[in-house]
Amino acid sequence: MSVSKVAEIAKGASSKWMKNQGEKYTSFFWQAGYGAFSISPGHKDALVEYIQNQETHHAKESFQDEFRRLCAMYQVPLDERYVWD
Protein backbone atom coordinates (compact mmCIF):
# COMPACT_ATOMS: atom_id res chain seq x y z
CA MET A 1 0.00 0.00 0.00
CA SER A 2 1.36 3.43 -0.85
CA VAL A 3 2.29 5.93 1.85
CA SER A 4 -0.30 8.36 0.46
CA LYS A 5 -3.05 5.71 0.78
CA VAL A 6 -2.02 4.91 4.38
CA ALA A 7 -2.11 8.64 5.21
CA GLU A 8 -5.52 9.02 3.55
CA ILE A 9 -7.00 6.09 5.48
CA ALA A 10 -5.45 7.06 8.83
CA LYS A 11 -6.43 10.70 8.54
CA GLY A 12 -9.96 9.87 7.36
CA ALA A 13 -10.68 7.31 10.06
CA SER A 14 -9.17 9.35 12.89
CA SER A 15 -10.94 12.52 11.74
CA LYS A 16 -14.29 10.70 11.72
CA TRP A 17 -13.57 9.28 15.20
CA MET A 18 -12.52 12.69 16.53
CA LYS A 19 -15.67 14.39 15.25
CA ASN A 20 -17.72 11.84 17.21
CA GLN A 21 -16.00 12.75 20.50
CA GLY A 22 -18.22 15.71 21.22
CA GLU A 23 -19.56 18.95 19.85
CA LYS A 24 -16.34 20.89 20.41
CA TYR A 25 -14.57 18.55 17.94
CA THR A 26 -17.05 18.74 15.06
CA SER A 27 -14.86 21.16 13.14
CA PHE A 28 -11.69 19.08 13.61
CA PHE A 29 -9.62 18.54 10.48
CA TRP A 30 -6.13 17.43 9.57
CA GLN A 31 -3.75 19.67 7.66
CA ALA A 32 -3.59 18.82 3.96
CA GLY A 33 0.03 17.66 3.98
CA TYR A 34 1.77 14.78 5.70
CA GLY A 35 5.20 13.32 6.12
CA ALA A 36 6.32 9.76 6.65
CA PHE A 37 9.56 8.33 7.98
CA SER A 38 10.39 4.68 8.44
CA ILE A 39 12.31 3.14 11.30
CA SER A 40 14.12 -0.14 11.78
CA PRO A 41 12.47 -2.74 14.03
CA GLY A 42 15.23 -2.21 16.57
CA HIS A 43 13.99 1.34 17.18
CA LYS A 44 10.36 0.36 17.83
CA ASP A 45 10.52 0.70 21.63
CA ALA A 46 12.03 4.19 21.37
CA LEU A 47 9.30 5.19 18.90
CA VAL A 48 6.53 3.93 21.18
CA GLU A 49 8.06 5.91 24.06
CA TYR A 50 8.28 9.00 21.83
CA ILE A 51 4.59 8.71 20.88
CA GLN A 52 3.56 8.27 24.51
CA ASN A 53 5.50 11.41 25.47
CA GLN A 54 4.68 13.61 22.46
CA GLU A 55 2.91 16.27 24.49
CA THR A 56 5.95 16.78 26.70
CA HIS A 57 8.33 16.57 23.74
CA HIS A 58 6.44 19.16 21.71
CA ALA A 59 6.44 21.54 24.67
CA LYS A 60 10.21 21.74 24.06
CA GLU A 61 10.32 21.47 20.25
CA SER A 62 7.42 22.33 17.97
CA PHE A 63 6.16 19.81 15.45
CA GLN A 64 7.24 22.15 12.65
CA ASP A 65 10.78 22.50 14.01
CA GLU A 66 11.04 18.75 14.53
CA PHE A 67 9.84 18.06 10.99
CA ARG A 68 12.38 20.55 9.60
CA ARG A 69 15.14 18.90 11.67
CA LEU A 70 14.22 15.39 10.51
CA CYS A 71 14.09 16.46 6.86
CA ALA A 72 17.50 18.11 7.19
CA MET A 73 18.96 15.11 9.04
CA TYR A 74 17.81 12.69 6.33
CA GLN A 75 18.50 15.12 3.48
CA VAL A 76 14.85 15.26 2.42
CA PRO A 77 14.12 18.41 0.40
CA LEU A 78 11.48 20.54 2.11
CA ASP A 79 9.45 23.21 0.36
CA GLU A 80 7.43 24.74 3.17
CA ARG A 81 4.91 26.22 0.73
CA TYR A 82 3.46 22.70 0.45
CA VAL A 83 3.81 21.48 4.02
CA TRP A 84 1.88 23.74 6.39
CA ASP A 85 -1.74 24.85 6.18
What single-letter amino acid sits at 84? W
What does the pLDDT read at residue 51? 92
pLDDT at 80: 86
Mean pLDDT, all residues of the chain: 91
- Tens digit of each residue's pLDDT (9 = 90 or more) over 37-70: 889 999 999 999 999 999 998 999 998 999 999 9
How far apart, in whole angstroms, are the C-alpha atoms of residue 57 and residue 83? 21
pLDDT band at 81 (very low <50, low <70, confident <90, very high): confident
For the chain, the structural domain boundaries read: 1-32, 37-85
